[in-house]
A and B are shown apart, each in its own frame.
Chain A
């Protein structure tokens, strides 16, 4: 939120151009993004994104909380993929502690993480298509998203702010019919993706609005720090799930869709293909779900079961200690990166040996992706700006934190 008055960096250069202010209340900016445009007729001469309207100081708040109290804060950063945020943070703290996580908890994490990816991509697809003018897709996407939100509610009690992952495992054993419901969803989902593709992929209007629009080369995308489908749409083959596996992703087989065109259509195809791959990972996770504990055996860090608290003095003491004093984490620092639906999400956690994190920094994929926007839009039409913003899939909560 740098400049509320007309910005000094962007003033009319010649007589022909004018400054146009887009957002922060514009419906196609997906929240509170302000874009300052210098336009010549309908051509964009220069573009400057202005962020920070949603800054809530989460990084500062984290420094005043116990390690386990930070988990619910991480949901609020990127509210379209809460589980991915939870996962990234708990993995970072587990790495600091040197904790081993039991296989069942790891597989549950993978399963939920991929459902979250599907959820996030569905919101992206629906709103992106609506921005460009294909209204129907939105209704179809939100129909399936609703089912995923019901699954989240069943497992965690919340539809969006799930906070289901814990340092050392997951919060609860899933309800009895949970896996059957996920199976039912996953079996029907590939046909649903076909439905979306029927509406868009070979639709000539969709093609005209997206093919060759908002191009970015691989060199530029890497130099500007882009990641996720924005980078893979330009032909850079990297996916942290495959290349630097975490939480047991090395046990799963999946393809990483890469396109070389670097335009809005390429990024669209990458994400739609990812929907199918994520669904395949969900099925693999259901097939191979191991039995066993869902929490690590570390009584000083993981809260005891309710039942044990009522019968064992030790468990009651541990519970009391963790809640009132937190647990000490050995001094050190860790950078943990995961592949979020938007790209490389990283948590940099520094411990000074106390029960509260000394510093928590979130590497936001959207903030870096946002820097590609001027490259994509300058020299193109004003209407393409809307397509470009949709194609990099921004979540302002994550950009501003």
Chain B
């Protein structure tokens, strides 16, 4: 059981195709990076996420053309409370990268990536349903798993496992 310590300096990981592309575009959008357990995570500035996704999708050398997964983690009571997680896969290059956006607990909202990948539709609806995060520009942002008249967002950490009732 030996785990290498995570790398958090941008300098050391700039050879990764996703980091290289983002650095060439606008270094200011990268808030933090972490290379841990062979997985690359990048925290992207909130307002730039849709453009960053479109940029990575259309990259000529290593197109991250497939959105594997989109989810969220609630770090209650810490601030910024929510992290929206995007797992991107490059089908031609067999490469993965994880993008993150940090959102405050007070009316969290982020731009939708459905215009980049239509497949983000259901994932974003699920995050909206279970975490209460609003995705601006989403074509049909309604509850998907819970009943329409449900109160609260069950996967938030301040929501009891047994429910309110």
A and B: real partners?
Answer: yes
Give A residues with C-beta under 8 Å from B. Answer: 1-4, 9, 51-52, 55, 57, 59-61, 63-64, 95-100, 222-226, 236, 238, 243-244, 298, 330, 332-335, 337, 344, 346, 348, 350, 358-359, 361, 363, 367-368, 370-371, 400-401
Which residue of A3, A52, A57, A243 contacts B154 across the interface (Cβ within 8 Å)?
Answer: A57
Which of B118, B143, B145 lies at the interface centre, i.e. has the most chain A CB atoms within 10 A of its CB?
A: B145
When C-beta atoms are compared, the residue in chain A nearest to B120 turns out to be A225
Docked complex: B40-96 residues within 8 A CB-CB of A? 41, 65-69, 71, 73-74, 85, 87, 91, 94, 96
Which residue of B85, B123, B146 contacts A52 across the interface (Cβ within 8 Å)?
Answer: B146
Known: A98-B1, A359-B73, A371-B119. A60 touches B161 (CB 8 A): yes
Contact across chains for A4 and B37 when beta carbons are under 8 A apart: no
Contact across chains for B119 and A98 when beta carbons are under 8 A apart: no
What residues of chain A lie closer than 8 Å to B154, measured between beta carbons? 57, 60
How many residue pairs bridge A and B at CB < 8 Å?
A: 112
Identify 7 new A-B residue pairs, CB closer than 8 A, beyond the known A224-B119, A225-B119, A335-B69: A52-B145, A52-B146, A52-B147, A98-B3, A225-B120, A359-B73, A371-B118
Rounded to whole angstroms, the CA-CA distance of A1 and B144 in the bound complex is: 6
Give how many B residues have a beta carbon under 8 Å from the other chain's beta carbons: 43
Contact across chains for B65 and A222 when beta carbons are under 8 A apart: yes
What residues of chain A lie closer than 8 Å to B123, measured between beta carbons? 225, 367-368
Contact across chains for A51 and B73 when beta carbons are under 8 A apart: no
Contact across chains for A348 and B69 when beta carbons are under 8 A apart: yes
Known: A222-B66, A332-B36, A358-B73. A1 touches B161 (CB 8 A): no
Contact across chains for B146 and A1 when beta carbons are under 8 A apart: yes
In the complex, whether B112 has a CB less than 8 A from a CB of chain A is no
CB distance from A302 to the nearest CB of B (A): 12
Which residue of A60, A97, A236, A337 contacts B68 across the interface (Cβ within 8 Å)?
Answer: A337
Which residue of A3, A55, A99, A368 contacts B119 across the interface (Cβ within 8 Å)?
Answer: A368
